[in-house]
Structure 1
Amino acid sequence: MYPWLQQAWQDLLRERDRLPHALLITGEPGIGKRVFAEYLAQFLLCEDTQKSTVPCGVCDGCRWYLAGNHPDFRVLQPEDAEDERPDEADSKKAKKKSEIIRVEDVRGLADFVNLSAHRRSLRVTLVVPADTMNVAAANAFLKTLEEPPAGAVFILVADHWRRLLPTIRSRCRVFPLALPEPHIAMQWLNAHGVVNPTLHLAHTGGAPLAAMDDAAAEWLPVRQNFLEHIAEPATLDVLKLSAELDKAKLDTDLVIAWLQKWIYDLISLGLAQKIRYYPDWKDALGRLAPRAPFLMQYVNQLTEAQKLSRHPLNQRLVFESLLFAYVDALRGKGRQGKV
C-alpha cells in the first residue's frame, strides 16, 4: 500500500462490516487505484479470522491470491487482441492490448459469479478500467449488478467514472481516492531515484506513479518536440507535426492529454496567473496567455476528442483537426472540427 493511500484504507476499514456488494474506486490516473483495489480484494479473501487492518499474507486464501490463482477471484479487463502487422519482417501476428472490455468478456463471468464459492462465501471480481466497457458490455454487466448473487462482490476502478452508465454508478458506492500531498509524493519519488521529480510531478498533475512513468517514458523527445511546435502557433506546420505524431505510434489519448494540459495552463495563466502542468514552459505560455479567452470553446472540442480516442479513428486526421482548431482558436476564429 502506497503511503498516500493509508488514510483512505483506514477510512474504508471503518466501514468493513457495511461494505456494499459493488464499490467504485475513482481518482486521478497514476495514484494507485488498482493497487488499492487489489489490496482490498486480498483482504476480503484472506481467511485469517483474526485480521484487523491488513491481510495476513500466509493463510491459504492469501497464498492462492498472491500466486495469481485464487479460485474465487476474477479480473475483468481488456483482453489481448491479435493484430496483423504486415510491415513486420516475420509477418507473424503480434499481440496488442485491446482498449475496451467487450460484452463477451462480461458474459464469461456468469459461471464464476453464479456458482458457489470454492474457499469461503465470497467471490470477488475486479473490473479495471471499468470505464472501458463498451455499451453492450456495460448493459450486460448492469444485469449482474441489479440482481447480484449472494456473496458476489464487485470492485470497479475507473479514471473517468462519469463515463460509466448512470445506472451502473447508482448501484455502486463511489469511493474517491485523493491526490497525495505534494511533499509526500516528492519524498516517495526521491526515494525511488526519480531525477527532477518536481517537474515530472507537475507534468502529471501531482500523481506520483504517473510521474515515475513520465520520467522514464521513451516518448519524452516527442512531447518536447510537440510542445516546441504548439508554443509557436504562428509558424506551426500542422500537417508536418501531425505526420510526425502519427509516425511515433503513440496512443491518441496521450497526445490529446498533452494538448489538454497545455490549454489548461494557458487559460489558468491568463485568468488566474497560475501554471499547473508545464512550469518549464512559463515564458511560452506567458506569450500566448492573453489569448486565453478565445480557447473556452476549444476545451469542449478536446473533451469530445478524448471521449472518442479509443475508437478506431484515423489518428493523423484527428491530430490535424485538433491542431488546425488550436491555431484558429488562438486567432479568435471558431472551427467546428470533426474528429
Structure 2
Amino acid sequence: MIYPWHQSQWRQLAAYWQNQPNAWLFTGRENTGKTAFARHVGQALLCERPSENREPCGVCPSCHLFSQNSHPDFYELTPELPEGEAVGRKLLQIKIDAVRDVIGNIQLTSVRGGRRVVLVHPAESMNVQAANGLLKALEEPPEGVVFLLVTHARDKLLPTIKSRCRQMVLPAPSREAALQYLQQQGTDDAENLLAFHGGAPLFEPAPELDEMRGELLDLLSEPRLLAILDYAAAFDKLKQPLAVFIGWMQKWLTDVGLAQQKMPPLYYPEYAESLAKTAARSDAAALFALTGRLNALNPYGYHTLSVKMQLEYLLIDYLNFYKSASKGKK
C-alpha cells in the first residue's frame, strides 16, 4: 500500500516506468511510510498483470504470493533478531552473511521468469562488511534485478552506494494529514504522541515506554535527588538502551531552548508550562553546556556500559543545572 501523502511520488515514478534503474534509494524521515512505498514498488515490479498506471493488480499469482510474504523472487534484507532473544540493548545490524545469501540467490534464474527484487531496510543498519558486499552487487547487478533501498539516515550510507542508486525523497505528511491518520486509527492522545514523534505518524505503540517517559518529564519539571535515583533504577529494569533515554532528554532540552526564545515546544506541548518555568530560571549558555555533555554520550547509546549509572550521572547533572540556574536568576 501507499499512504496518501506519497501518491504524488508514486505517480512520478510510474510515469517513467520503462526507465527503471537497477537500484532505488528512498529517503526520508522514520515512520512515515517509506518501506510501505518500497514494498508497493516491489509488488508492482513483480506483478504479472499491472494496471495502466502501473499499480499491481492484487489478484495474479505473483501478487498473491507477495501478499503471503512468500514470493520466490522477492528478497528482503533487514536486521534480524536471533530466535528467542529480546531486542533490549542490542544495536541490530544487517550482516555480511545475509547479504551473501541474497547475492547468491539473485545470481540464479528467476523462479517465475520475471524480475527479481531485493528490498534493503533500513539501509543504514548494514555493517561495513555488509555494505561493501552489497556495493559489489550494485556495481555489477545481475540482469533483471532491481534493488530497493530505504534509509532514515542517508548520510550514514557509503557515498559509493548512494551514487549507484536513483534517489527519491519521500516527504513526511503534513501535521493535519498525520493527525487525521492517527485519529482514524483510534490512537489515544494522538496530538501529544505525534508531537513527540516529530510529526511521523507510523510509530509502534509502546505504552510502557510512554508511561516511563511521562515519569521522566514529571521529574525534569521538578527534579529531586531521591526521585532521580528511583527513576534510574526503574528505567534500568526495562532493559532499554541508553539511546532511548538520551533521545527523550535531547527533546526536552530542545524544548527548553525554544522556551528561552519565547517559542512554543516542539516535542512536549503538554509540558509547555513546566518548560517555560525551566527556561525562565536558566540561561542559554548553561543549557548549551548541558546539551553538549548529553550529546557526548550519543556514540555510547548501545554500549554495554551501565545504563543505570549513566542515567544517574545525566539526571544529577540536570539537577545541578536546574538548581544553579535558579541561583543565577536571583
Structure 2 segments unaligned to the other structure (5+ residues):
326-330
| Equivalent position of 2:126 in the other structure | 133
| Equivalent position of 1:33 in the other structure | 34
Cα distance in 1 between the residues matched to 2:312 and 2:168: 38
Q: Which amino acid aligns with 1:71?
A: P
| Equivalent position of 2:61 in the other structure | 60
Give the deviation of 1:12 after TM superposition.
2.3
Conservation of the 8 A alpha-carbon contact between 2:120 and 2:149: yes
Q: How does 1:307-326 map to 2 (within 5 A)?
A: 307-326=299-318
Cα distance in 1 between the residues matched to 2:296 and 2:25: 24
Identity across the alignment (%): 37
Conservation of the 8 A alpha-carbon contact between 2:95 and 2:129: yes
Cα distance in 2 between the residues matched to 1:183 and 1:121: 41
Cα distance in 1 between the residues matched to 2:298 and 2:119: 25
TM-score, structure 1 as length reference: 0.84
1:249 aligned to which of 224, 239, 243: 239
Residues 301 and 57 of structure 1: CA distance in aligned 2, closer, same or farther (over 3 Å) = farther
Equivalences, count: 319
Conservation of the 8 A alpha-carbon contact between 2:26 and 2:169: yes
Let me know the Cα RMSD of the aligned residues.
Answer: 2.6
Cα distance in 2 between the residues matched to 1:304 and 1:172: 33
| Equivalent position of 1:106 in the other structure | 99
Query: Residue 7 in 1 paired to residue 8 in 2?
Result: yes
Cα distance in 2 between the residues matched to 1:300 and 1:25: 32
| Equivalent position of 1:177 in the other structure | 170
Give the deviation of 1:167 after TM superposition.
2.1
- Cα deviation per residue 1:155-182 (whole Å; 9 max; x = unaligned)? 1112222222222222222322212112
Residues 264 and 39 of structure 1: CA distance in aligned 2, closer, same or farther (over 3 Å) = same
- Cα deviation per residue 1:38-80 (whole Å; 9 max; x = unaligned)? 1111011111154424100111211111121111111111122
| Equivalent position of 2:328 in the other structure | none
Give the deviation of 1:312 after TM superposition.
4.0
1:271 aligned to which of 255, 261, 277: 261
Cα distance in 2 between the residues matched to 1:321 and 1:144: 46
Q: Comparing 64-73 with 118-127, which one deviates more in the overlay? A: 118-127
Cα distance in 1 between the residues matched to 2:19 and 2:287: 46
Q: Which amino acid aligns with 1:41?
A: G
Aligned-partner SS, 2:82: strand
Structure 1 segments unaligned to the other structure (5+ residues):
83-93, 334-339
2:191 aligned to which of 195, 198, 212: 198
Cα distance in 2 between the residues matched to 1:192 and 1:72: 33
Query: Residue 226 in 1 paired to residue 216 in 2?
Result: yes
Give the deviation of 1:149 after TM superposition.
1.7
TM-score, structure 2 as length reference: 0.86
